Structure 1
């Protein structure tokens, strides 16, 4: 189901924005996948771990755990109870803090505008001439050309546990009033900020603060942390070894080869974009904040990990990785030239809740 506001934005872009890029060439092909049908088979269910109860990790199945805590549900706090259902003010029913990773979203990163591999390769074709695509070149000083990548990103709600009914067995995972099936939430084709670095920078002025060598050098620590465990949330402008989350646009400098890294960075920038406008919530809050999910208007990188589903799925023991992890641990041999340069990721989120 496509949201009405997305249709309104699309019509606005067609009639108001006009042509600001080149249409996809005729030879561009949108890949066809059966991800929805095969999701139960393709998904690495080990990614739901580590599992914690009372703030203590029960099992991890080899999945990475947060530091300095011993697992999800523990933030340097001792074993604890929680209370989210209150009979009277200050009188609440004791519950058990639970921390678990939940498959929540599908993220398509594609070269061709309005190409939806998840929807069996559906595409709107070349009718929309205002969008850009693929790898392009820009003229630099002294006639030197520089390549940069440009992908479009589609962000779907995909609550897999709710779809298969598993969420009913975990009492505190409440989908009432939320998305309980596949739903398109956001696409970059109708977002003018995604194509314009200058516009994106002025819309998110904090980019001026971190546009200096010292701030960018700090991202080395984030890359090291992501390679071993999870990225550093305090370095909110970094995306580990992938690059910078700013500007929040789709233009990523780099060579014409090696498309997976800029594709992953495009996914991370969209998460940052959605967090900045309050569409992504803080689901991993602990202690007194465990009862609700809150908008932080800043990305919480440590609550995400992803699994590559297409073109070549990740397999154990490297199924899921956090934002910014080096491709040497999860991305080698995952690109198929010509026919496998579009990507689909399954996004897992750390959900902490109070189970009665």
Structure 2
């Protein structure tokens, strides 16, 4: 009887240790990061080209651009103020993709856990063993009008005013880890969940890798896959950089759908921002700022349009433990009427 009791106690101890190890493994994700240094971590050439009307007046390294309003003259207001139509790429938003919930990588690795239960990042192995399978990450959206708070250009009316601010946490969004629940935001996703629509994204991948993606193919994320569903579940995980680039694109599209991000480009943007519930993916360029800032200029460029293949710029940007979270600066296209 005594031996039986000892065996029961030993078994209970082993179960307890196993549970503790599982809990430790579930919370094993580290929280590290770095506030982006505006001098060394941001590729300032991405603000080019600068245009007046449809004519480029400044460029550096043959930076890519989308069409601008053709006329150099514009007017805004009830009592119209006549001005010049200016176009450039404004670094104004920041997206990070993280493994540990409430880990603010872009604020130096601050663990802001308020005690709210939220799923950690995971990578799912396929039963048939044909690759890494899927993945899940949390993501955060920042307001970061870096040119304004650095006072890079004084008294320029086309810069968004504000400071670095955390705008959105997916940890408190129940739609971020539920493919079905997120249909509340994007019911049109069912129209593109078929082989034909998915295969068509190959053309968007080619376009994004040589320039900008195809605006009309709004359901495609270029070489990263599909925009839909607008959540953190990725069916094919082929490396952290690729998955992070996809989720940065999805979260930005989600912000547009929730009217937390607006359009600032084109003829409609000359006099101010406007509602754009379906994101125009050609209005954004991205630059990796963490863990390894992508400031090395390949062919004169260190930022990429949404959907560009990570093969050309993502190599060596991920490493174990401290280099498995990612942050991107978003350069958005800005057209503005600068009045006299």
TM-score norm. by structure 2 comes to 0.85
Structure 1 residue matching 2:89: 3-state secondary structure: strand
Residue 81 of structure 2 is matched in structure 1 by 93
Conserved? CA contact 1:137–1:145, under 8 Å: no
Q: Deviations over 1:95-118 (max 9, x none)?
A: 100001111012111011010122
Instruction: Tell me if 1:137 matches 2:137.
Output: no
Matched, 1:120 2:108: yes
Cα displacement string for residues 203-243 of structure 1 (whole angstroms, at most 9, x for unaligned residues): 42100111112211221111111101111111110000001
Q: Distance in 2 between matches of 1:192 and 1:234?
A: 29
Aligned to 2:308: 325
Aligned length: 314
Counterpart-to-counterpart distance in 1, 2:160 and 2:107: 27
Aligned pair partner of 2:319 in 336, 339, 342: 336
SS in 2 for 1:254: coil
- TM-score w.r.t. the length of structure 1 is 0.82
SS at match of 1:41: coil
Shift of 1:201: 2.5
Residues 221-260 of structure 1 mapped to structure 2, 5 A cutoff: 221-255=203-237, 258-260=239-241
- 1:283–1:294 CA contact under 8 A, matched in 2: yes
In the TM superposition, 1:111-260 aligns within 5 A as 111-125=99-113, 127-128=115-116, 130-137=117-124, 147-173=133-159, 175=161, 180-255=162-237, 258-260=239-241
The structure whose Rg is larger is 2
Aligned 8 A contact 1:64 1:229 in 2 = no
Unaligned 5+ segments in structure 1 are: 1-21
Deviation >4 Å, runs of 4+? 142-146
Is the 1:54–1:80 contact (alpha carbons within 8 Å) kept by the matching residues of 2?
Answer: yes
Distance 2:254 2:228 in 1: 10
- Secondary structure in 2 aligned to 1:101? strand
Segments of structure 2 that go 5 or more residues without pairing to the other structure are 1-22
C-alpha deviations, 1:7-32, integer Å up to 9, x for none? xxxxxxxxxxxxxxx89734321113
> What's 2:29 paired with?
28
- Root-mean-square deviation (CA, aligned residues, Å) is 2.3
SS at match of 1:105: strand
Tell me how far apart the structure 2 counterparts of residues 241 and 190 of structure 1 sit (CA, whole Å).
29
Asked if residue 269 in structure 1 is aligned to residue 255 in structure 2, the reply is: no
**2-structure distance, mates of 1:59, 1:145:** 45
